[in-house]
Structures are given as structure tokens and as C-alpha cells.
């Protein structure tokens, strides 16, 4: 069932999705908290199963070797051992199913927010989710790393399905299972909750699952010990040395595969038709195989399936960075870093081009200062603020934005704008256009645009970016993605 919410509540809905994936709460019910609990009890479960199997084996042997006088007592003990083993296995299976069900529902809820009935609508909804994640995450202060760690799983998951769609449309995916489900779904309505939709249910949901679970191994005790130290006193966001990093990545990868294969069940067939049931169970196996293949091949980014998770993972790690040194101004460099990796053949060239076609150079929710034009198309002698709000920009360096200040006054957003590199203050050629303006005038512009005095004191007179979080925190300013007239700048 699709999530329902009002305009002002949208950011809260996105925050809740983030918390359902990665959170620290008394309920311990997020996907990553469930994993911490599962890994912590893994050894005990294995021991319980081993003990139950040993008991069963023991009584089976005794039954074969005992006299008739002892048969009745041994049979009772054998049946008791069988019942105990069955109960234990059923309990494990039920818990696995409940974890799978919670993850599946989470993925369906994500899709209800980022998937529309048309290509344009879908990209608008996805831009809204990605931009909202960026805008509710802090870009200054002490909690950047922790909040980015929570949010990056959802961010990467949305990018992964949008990237998958682009690769399929460009003919860069030849996986038979994915292509078959895509072809089957071309004329089906995406959001019919009562009907089976092959591409949504068999491809989009598993890709979202794989993206969310890709780093689930970090919840394993061995990974936590590396990140936080044996006593839990280390800063988990510190830079690991080379050997620690290799050990951590290997442990994370192995634990992730273990979790997917052992901690998660599959869907349950509810009908009575045997042929339909067999098809359902076969599809569940294929979906599980797709999740595992995506995670495994992401470690080999040159592979076709590996790109689906790997490229969004690299990009997200830079946009929602958890490094100790964080510089918001540098976020557009993430796109350039991907380009460089492709040039060096570290990533597939065609895949990177396809990905950058979606995201452009400026991430969703990024604050862009720009030089507006007057009614005659001439540059004005000031700058204004805009926020990046659209995927698929016309060119890499021309972000689709929403204008948020007019004549140096903040207003609820009503107009959109495609900002050229020539008028985007991120680029030196745009800043040079305003260098002739007296310092007093630049200080006056800053006083009108910058929210607080501390930020004003540390900001350059011609800023390369601005921080829109304080603007966005006001609920009336959160409707940045409604339809609006678009200007060219």
C-alpha cells in the first residue's frame, strides 16, 4: 500500500524510511539493528541446532541397538528430540521470514515514493527523495558522519534503481532475468497493489534489497571490533590503515553474504494451485540469486551487474561522506571523480556516462549561488540562491534548480531555472564576473542572504555554494518539487 502524507510531512516520511534502515533505538527494529542482533546470536543458534541434531542421532542409534524392553522409552525420547529440532528450525524459519517481510515492505514503501507512472514523473519523485535526504542531513557541525552513515543506504538504493533503469534502456544490461521482467511489464500499471508486476516485484525490489544490504556485514562483531576497537572506544569514522581496511572489507563482504543467505527467508505462496506455487517458488529462488549476484559482482565493478551497485556506492560515499574531514563545497567533485575513474579504466566508461547523465555534476539538494539575468537577458550585478532539484540535467555542468531568493529576499520557491556554468558561482568564470563589485556591496548582499552572523563571518564574499538546510527546515519551504515555470540562465 502506498504511503500517504501531506506536503509538510514529506521530509518526516523520508526520515522515517532512513530510520527503518539504520537507527539506534530502544525498539532495535531497524534493518541494521536486526542484523546486529542476528549476528550476535549466530553462534548460539548454530550450537542449539548442532545439539538438537546430536540428540536426534543419539536416540536413532539407540533405537537400532536397544532391546525390545527399552524400545518404548527410546521411541518417546526420539520423538521428543524430533519435536525439539522441528520447533527450533521452525522458529529460525519464522524469524527469517519476518526479517524478509520487513525488508520487502520497506522496499515497497520506498518505491511508492520514488516511482511514478511515467519516466518524467519517476525522475521527479526520485529527485525529490534524493534532494530531501541531502537537505535533512547536516552539512556543518559535529554529527555529519553519523547522520550521513544512517542516510546513505536509502540514498544509494534510490540511485541504484534509477541507474538500473538507465542501463536497461541503453541496452547495457543483458541479464536474461532482468530483461524478461522488464519486457513483461512494459504495459502494466506500476502501482496496482493487488496485481503482480514482474519488473517491480522481481527486479526493483531485489535491487533495492541488495543496495540496502550491501554493507550489512558491518553489523558483525568482527567488523564492529575493527571500526570501534575491542572496547568500543575508537572513532568508527577514523581512517583505517591499509591492513585494517583489507581485513574489514573482507569480513564485511563475507558477513553480508552470510546474512543474505542465512538470515533472510523468502516470500510465501498463499494459494492452492500447484503449478502456480512451483512458479512462485522458482521466482523466489531467482530473486535471491539476483540479490547475491549483485552483491558479489559489486566487488568486480567491471562486470555488468556489478555496476548497478558499485557506481552508486562510490558516488554516495562522496556525497554523504563519513570521513572525518567533510567539505560541503566539494560535493560536485564526486561526478568528476567518477569520470576520472572511468578514464583510468577502474570503472566501465559507458556505465559512468549513463550514471552522470542522470545525476549531472551537482547533487540533488545542493545550494547553488548564481548570477541572475534581467528581462533583456543581461547579467545582473548581484548573485541569488537556488537549490538543485532535478535529475537528467541538459548538460553535466548545467543543474536544474529551484530559485529560492528574489531580489536578495527569501521566498517560497515558485520558479525553476537551468543554471549555466557561466553564471554559476561554483565556477571561477562566473565569480570573475562579479569581482568588479565593491566590497561594501558584496557585504550588503551577504548580509541579506546569509542566515546567521557566524556563517557570515566565515563565508567568502563570492561563495562557491551555500548551505540550504536552514531554509529547508521551515516546512513552507519544503515544496521545492512542484511544477514551476523554467527559466534559462
Chain centre to alpha carbon of residue 312 = 8
Q: How far apart are the first and last CA of the chain?
A: 41
Does the predicted TM-score (pTM) go above 0.85?
yes
pLDDT tens-place string over residues 191-250: 877 789 999 999 999 999 999 999 999 999 999 999 999 888 999 999 999 999 999 999
Element (H, E) at 485: strand 485-488
To the nearest 10 degrees (0 to 180), the angle between helices 10-21 and 31-40 is 10
C-alpha cell, 390: 532535478
315: closest CA among 104, 162, 430?
162
pLDDT tens-place string over residues 301-313: 667 899 999 999 9
H-only helix segments in 364-461: 428-433, 439-449, 453-458
76: closest CA among 62, 86, 90, 65?
62
Residue whose C-alpha cell reads 541446532 in the numeric block: 49
426: closest CA among 385, 465, 375?
465
The Cβ-side half-sphere exposure at 159, using a 13 Å CA radius, reads 32
> How far apart, in whole angstroms, are the C-alpha atoms of residue 17 and residue 110?
8
Residue whose C-alpha cell reads 524478461 in the numeric block: 180
For position 293, what pLDDT does the model report? 96
H-only helix segments in 263-320: 274-297, 304-319
pLDDT tens-place string over residues 396-419: 999 999 999 999 999 887 799 999
Q: Mean pLDDT in the chain?
A: 91
Element (H, E) at 19: helix 10-21
Q: Is the pLDDT of residue 186 over 50?
A: yes
Q: Are 135 and 302 in contact (CB under 8 A)?
A: no
> How far apart, in whole angstroms, are the C-alpha atoms of residue 135 and residue 393?
19
For position 7, what pLDDT does the model report? 46
For position 4, what pLDDT does the model report? 44
For position 77, what pLDDT does the model report? 78
Which range is least confidently modeled, 170-184, 201-215, 295-309, 327-341?
Answer: 295-309
Amino acid at each position: 500500500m502506498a504511503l500517504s502524507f501531506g506536503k509538510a510531512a514529506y521530509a518526516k516520511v523520508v526520515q522515517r524510511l532512513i530510520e527503518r534502515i539504520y537507527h539506534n533505538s530502544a525498539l532495535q527494529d531497524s534493518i541494521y539493528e536486526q542484523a546486529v542482533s542476528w549476528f550476535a546470536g549466530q553462534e548460539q543458534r548454530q550450537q542449539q541446532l548442532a545439539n538438537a541434531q546430536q540428540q536426534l542421532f543419539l536416540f536413532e542409534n539407540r533405537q537400532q541397538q536397544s532391546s525390545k524392553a527399552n524400545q518404548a522409552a527410546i521411541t518417546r525420547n526420539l520423538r521428543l528430540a524430533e519435536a525439539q529440532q522441528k520447533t527450533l528450525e521452525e522458529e529460525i524459519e519464522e524469524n527469517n521470514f519476518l526479517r524478509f517481510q520487513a525488508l520487502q515492505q520497506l522496499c515497497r514503501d520506498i518505491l511508492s515514493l520514488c516511482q511514478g507512472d511515467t519516466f518524467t514523473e519517476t525522475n521527479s519523485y526520485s529527485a525529490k527523495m534524493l534532494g530531501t535526504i541531502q537537505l535533512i542531513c547536516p552539512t556543518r557541525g559535529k554529527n555529519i558522519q553519523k547522520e550521513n552513515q544512517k542516510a546513505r543506504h536509502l540514498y544509494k538504493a534510490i540511485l541504484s534503481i534509477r541507474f538500473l533503469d538507465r542501463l536497461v534502456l541503453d541496452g547495457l544490461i543483458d541479464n536474461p532475468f532482468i530483461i524478461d521482467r522488464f519486457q513483461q511489464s512494459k504495459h502494466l500499471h506500476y502501482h496496482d497493489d493487488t496485481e503482480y508486476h514482474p519488473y517491480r516485484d522481481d527486479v526493483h525490489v531485489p535491487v533495492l534489497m541488495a543496495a540496502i544490504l550491501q554493507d550489512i556485514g558491518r553489523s558483525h562483531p568482527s567488523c564492529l571490533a575493527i571500526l570501534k576497537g575491542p572496547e568500543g572506544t575508537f572513532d568508527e569514522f577514523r581512517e583505517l590503515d591499509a591492513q585494517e581496511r583489507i581485513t574489514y572489507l573482507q569480513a564485511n563482504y563475507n558477513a553480508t553474504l552470510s546474512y543474505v543467505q542465512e538470515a533472510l527467508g523468502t516470500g510465501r505462496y498463499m494459494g492452492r494451485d500447484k503449478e502456480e506455487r512451483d512458479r512462485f517458488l522458482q521466482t523466489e529462488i531467482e530473486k535471491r540469486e539476483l540479490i547475491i549476484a549483485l552483491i558479489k559482482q559489486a566487488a568486480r565493478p567491471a562486470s555488468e551487474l556489478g555496476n548497478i551497485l558499485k557506481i552508486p556506492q562510490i558516488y554516495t560515499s562522496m556525497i554523504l561522506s563519513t570521513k572525518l574531514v567533510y567539505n560541503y563545497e566539494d560535493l560536485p567533485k564526486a561526478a568528476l571523480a567518477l569520470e576520472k575513474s572511468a578514464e583510468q579504466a577502474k570503472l566501465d566508461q559507458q556505465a559512468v556516462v549513463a550514471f552522470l547523465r542522470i545525476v549531472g555534476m551537482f547533487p540533488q539538494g545542493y545550494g547553488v549561488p548564481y548570477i541572475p539575468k534581467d528581462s533583456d537577458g543581461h547579467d545582473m550585478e548581484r548573485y541569488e540562491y537556488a537549490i538543485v532539484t532535478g535529475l537528467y540535467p541538459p548538460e553535466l555542468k548545467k543543474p536544474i534548480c529551484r530559485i529560492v531568493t528574489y531580489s536578495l529576499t527569501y521566498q517560497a520557491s515558485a520558479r525553476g531555472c537551468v543554471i549555466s556554468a557561466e553564471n554559476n558561482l561554483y565556477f571561477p568564470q562566473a565569480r570573475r564576473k562579479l569581482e568588479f563589485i565593491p566590497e561594501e556591496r558584496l557585504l550588503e548582499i551577504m548580509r541579506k542572504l546569509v542566515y546567521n552572523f557566524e556563517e557570515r563571518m566565515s563565508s567568502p564574499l563570492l561563495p562557491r555554494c551555500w548551505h540550504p538546510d536552514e531554509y529547508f527546515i521551515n516546512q513552507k519551504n519544503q515544496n521545492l518539487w512542484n511544477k514551476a515555470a523554467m527559466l534559462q540562465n
